[in-house]
Structure 1
């Protein structure tokens, strides 16, 4: 929900993560959301995940609905 509300930094725990790690951590969250999309054909291959995490200037697509979540689907979207 925080990702869809454009507030990904609120996902990070400030007691664990230093502010300088913010952008790389948000990128990791973005890639993780791509990996749990509902339909397997929408999920990136591991070689693509490696590239996404290795090259910070690589553009990432917006993640689609996850295959599962703890909240009801209406609350996620």
Structure 2
């Protein structure tokens, strides 16, 4: 089965609770034979990536990164959504 985990930020630059939990879930699902991809974001204000969407690998997982610097929020409500 193909599985995608969405998390607000991810390794290697972010490595606290949610990121660690997501990585451990991904490892378990991979061990059960599933194909796992992680989708994450680069927060506004962090150094921008070259493109809106980039991909890299972390511990054998494909990570798709969306750079939120490229599409700024119109209002504070969008930071929640």
Question: Please, what TM-score do these two structures have when normalized by structure 1?
Answer: 0.27
Task: Point out the structure with the larger strand share.
Answer: 2
TM-score, structure 2 length as denominator? 0.26
Q: Decide which structure has greater helix share.
A: 1
Q: Which has the higher contact order (CA 8 A, sep 6+)?
A: 1
